[in-house]
Structure 1
Amino acid sequence: MIEPAKPTLRVIPREQHGISRRNISNGALRVLYRLNEAGYDAFLVGGAVRDLLLGGHPKDFDIATNATPEQVRGLFRNCRLIGRRFRLAHVVFGQEIVEVATFRGTGEEGNVDRHVVDGRIVRDNVYGTIEEDAIRRDFRVNALYYNIADFSVRDYVGGMEDLDKKVLHLIGDPDQRYREDPVRMLRAVRLAAKLGFSIDQTAQQPFAHLGQLLCDAAPARLFDESLKLFLAGHGQASFRELDRSGLLGFVFPATAAALRHSDGAEFRALVEWGLKNTDQRVKAEKSVTPAFLFAVLLWGAVRERVERGISSGMDPAAAWANAGGSVIAEQSARVAIPRRFSLVMEEIWSLQPRFELRMKKRVFRLLAHPRFRAAYDFLVVRAQADNSLKPLVEWWGQAHAAQPDALDEMLNQAAQPAAALPKAGAPKKRRRRRRKKAPGGGSGDAPEAT
């Protein structure tokens, strides 16, 4: 049970904050007004209020109210109730979903609708007041309420002060709050990276002894959290914060181990460049895929295993297949990687040594491969950390853009490059053909084929 705090209300009137209804979605405004007109309290809450106060333009809007989920459903035909752990109302307007939650209460021991297992809340439908709801939230900056009744902002826990100081404080006892939900540690990292804030020492100190709890979190949930960390436009900053905080090894152990390897500096440069490029694509509203992201994060482990396998005498193709499959299997025990992404990752990795081979048939086959573009983009990222690969990047870029006649000329002039990956492939031994016996049983006079 969360110990009740004594929140102190601070009301920031309309003229003292920068939130404008022009920056709130039409769907959210309709829900706020309808609840208010029906006599219920209605507040925009959480990240949307935080980002609006910081001058941002949030895409998702959450609402808190004293109406129960059933009462909300009674007001909106386009409403459905979801969730077992937390009962929520979703009001649907075309592509927009407005999430409406009833104020959460602190509850009492023995309440039949709150279930806690090993300190973690697994079901919680205890309703309460707005003051109780505020102290139930995770960070102070996420416990700010925009009141549609008078357009003021209500602050019960010091969130406005944290916005001014650019710092993240956890509400309540950090150990208890992280034990309730270990993923809050990752949210702290994500928020700090997104906002450019620092994490208060009291909120960060438990990472060292509670980070291990992340290993028990549901892998599918950590996959979703990873997408928020790395594919929301602040992936590079999230990676740095995750590494600095010591949490990287609990979520991506193979990545953390590769950073400690002898060539860890090169691998770090590759990851940083890959995430920087992803951030730029997100901001330019270009498509990004989790497959490419995970291929970058796990490349160090895959490459090391390939080299180890080939050194032990394994066939290069088998070495690539075994390395990719084993690294993905181990990572999926922590962060679930759907098969539709892991298949693409394995293809991106296995195509890398083929860029070193510029024989005519191999070049045309690689250019026609459905994963050529993804694999080539990965080669471009590798070249940012390894200058020796830049001639390969330039050559394949020209080959991809060239007309067939021009490509033939390029292939005629191309010389076989040195291997870009140490021991990444070995020439196949050519089988010697048997001589055909002469009609009389002796050897023929034709030279032996080589």
Structure 2
Amino acid sequence: MFRRISQFCKQLFDDSQTSKNQEIETLDSGLSLEIVPRDSHSISRRQISENALKVLYRLHKSGYKAYLVGGGVRDLLLGLEPKDFDVVTDATPEDIKKLFRNCRLVGRRFRLAHIVFGRDIIEVATFRGHHSHGNDKTSKANASGRLLRDNVYGSIDEDAERRDFTVNALYYDISDFSIRSYGGGLQDLKSGTLRLIGDPETRYREDPVRMLRAVRFATKLNMQIDASAAAPIRKLAHLLSDIPSARMYEEALKLFFAGKGEANFEMMQEYGLFQPLFPLLHSCIKENPKDPAARMIQMVMANTDARVNQDKPVTPAFFYAALLWYPLRTRAEEIALESGLPLYDACFAAMGDILEDQCRSISIPRRFTAPARDIWQMQLRFERSQNPRAFKLMESPKFRAAYDLLQLRGEAEGGAVAKNAHWWKNFVQADEATRTVIAKSGPKAGGRKRNRNPRRRKRSDSSNGSAAE
């Protein structure tokens, strides 16, 4: 894929360089604008979704300016298939709603229009202006500079200045099919450079999630983060702790469930961005990089990437259950030490604590936390069910996910856990008859049951002995 991206970048750059009609100018802000006519770029309307074209054409025919913008344009130029198509216009959200009966307005921080075509949603935004031109009702920032409200509207040039990276400041004009590239976005696509528009520290403070987007785009597009854009990241990484946890959940999906999870994790570690998302897990691995928790992260990321790239299903329930298993064990040991509870019971008590703490940074929906609890509980049952009860355990809906986690734990820890994992692997892979033999020969099968009253057993043994004499 990376070779294909490079070929498209080279073709794109060569075509734009040879165009006689190409226009380049410098805006008052100092940002450059390059206009590439239709005959000098590779984007065709056949590559754009039918629904996105409907939105673009209706806006244009109604007297509004309409552009395809951002990642959709970028990916088309790179020869990739965009996941979605976003539109930007000078029409206000209220104007858009009047044009489209299938429109709903969403968002408070950024007011957006969603045009709904069944399962396909075309997101339409109004040109953003500079937030300094707004008032308390349209623009607001906190003490650290993060924008809490940003509904100041402006021109397309101002909108481009508000974009995060130059490779996302690309606009496809439906009126004449030209491309408007701001800040040297086309050249940055060719060179594979991820460059921020504006002062990097200011832009990160406005929206700290841009630091995660820098990592994600760098791995997805095989680009290098520009030195000036990379410099402030480690210093500002702590600002991610102030981002609403619901938004961080969506960002985590993009980071770890798109086939680049392992690469994203490694780059996040490099820039100190992993800790704000997973503080419990970070505390487990910071002192000992060879800790089983660290090995578990690598294996989970690699396995998730492999499944995504093979078009196999992945679920956040297993992902979070696996990543948080060792923080759970650590917390259970603390509870057991403080309360005197057996470790088995302490694990159940720790589950709520771990999920509550993690949800402060990433708001994991209940539809995933409940299965994660089931997967954890089965880890405890695996240790006690190496006998005929194994058949019943296999009937559990979460058995396969729990079994997969046990195998990963065996690789990460070795020792008794690896033996337990090996027993279950033999049991699962055997046929029905062999399973019965394995279950009967399990370490806990056929043993004597413990007498619940040791004193009664002692008296019974004594009396039997006297009778024998």
Does structure 2 retain, via aligned residues, the 8 Å contact 1:309–1:319? Answer: yes
Aligned with 2:161 (options 135, 138, 141): 135
Q: 5+ residue gaps in structure 2?
A: 1-26
How far off its partner does 1:336 sit?
1.9
1:161 to 187, 199, 223: 187
- 1:88 is aligned, of 109, 112, 118, to 112
Native 8 Å contact 1:144 1:154 kept in 2: yes
Contact 1:194 1:237 in 2 (8 A): no
**Greater mean alpha carbon deviation, residues 429-438 or residues 200-209:** 429-438
Shift of 1:162: 1.7
Q: Distance in 1 between matches of 2:443 and 2:69?
A: 63
Structure 2 partner of 1:226 = 252
TM-score (norm 2): 0.83
Which among 19, 43, 62 is matched to residue 19 of structure 1? 43
Counterpart AA for 2:233: F
The verdict on how the C-alpha distance between 1:236 and 1:86 changes in structure 2, with shifts beyond 3 A counting, is same
- Match of residue 140 from structure 2: 115
Once residues 268 and 436 of structure 1 are traced to their aligned partners in structure 2, the CA distance between those partners, rounded to angstroms, is 49
1:315 corresponds, among 330, 333, 342, to 342
Q: 1:374 to 1:108 in 2, by over 3 A?
A: closer
| 1:48 aligned residue | 72
SS in 1 for 2:284: helix
Alpha-carbon distance between aligned partners in 2 of 1:195 and 1:315, rounded to the nearest angstrom? 50
* Equivalent residue in structure 2 for 1:68, among 92, 99, 121: 92
Q: Is the CA contact 1:41–1:65 (under 8 Å) kept in the aligned structure 2?
A: yes
Which residue, out of 238, 243, 255, partners 1:217?
Answer: 243
What's the Cα RMSD here?
A: 3.0
1:282 to 276, 286, 308: 308
Aligned counterparts of 1:150 and 1:320: Cα–Cα separation in 2:
64
- Identify unmatched segments of 5+ residues in structure 1: 418-426
Distance 1:357 1:45, change over 3 A: same
Q: Match of 1:421?
A: none
Contact 1:356 1:416 in 2 (8 A): no
**Aligned partners of 1:310 and 1:240: how far apart in 2?**
34
Structure-2 change in CA distance of 1:75 and 1:403 (3 Å): same
Aligned equivalent of 2:29:
5
**Structure-2 separation of matches of 1:428 and 1:141:** 69
Q: Is residue 434 from structure 1 mapped to residue 456 from structure 2 by the alignment?
A: yes
Which residue, 145, 148, 152 being the options, matches 2:178? 152
* Correspondence list, 1:223-302, <5 A: 223-262=249-288, 264-302=290-328
Count, aligned residues: 433
Aligned AA (1:399): F
Q: Does residue 365 in structure 1 map to residue 392 in structure 2? A: yes
User: How has the CA–CA distance of structure 1 residues 198 and 428 changed in structure 2, closer, same or farther, with 3 Å as cutoff?
Assistant: farther
Residue by residue over 1:101-147, the C-alpha shift from the partner in whole angstroms, topping out at 9 and shown as x without a partner, is 11111255453522333223222222211111100111111111112
Check 1:318–1:393 CA distance in 2 against 1; reply closer, same or farther (3 A cut): closer
Letter in 2 for 1:91: I
**Alpha-carbon distance between aligned partners in 1 of 2:450 and 2:28, rounded to the nearest angstrom:** 71
Distance in 1 of aligned mates of 2:161 and 2:440: 71
Q: In the alignment, what sits opposite 1:412?
A: 440
**SS of corresponding position for 2:404:** helix
Secondary structure of the 1:335 match is coil
Report the equivalent of 2:9.
none
Residues 306-327 of structure 1, C-alpha deviations (whole Å, 9 max, x = no match): 4555677540212212333322
Name the structure 1 match of 2:208: 182
> Contact (CA 8 Å) 1:219, 1:334: kept in 2 or not?
yes
Query: Among 377, 400, 409, which residue is 1:350 paired with?
Result: 377
Give the whole-Å Cα distance in 1 for the aligned partners of 2:408 and 2:68.
41
Deviates most, 105-114 or 18-27? 105-114
Distance 1:261 1:114, change over 3 A: closer
Cα offset, 1:278, TM superposition: 1.1
SS at match of 1:241: helix
**2:128 matched residue in structure 1:** 104
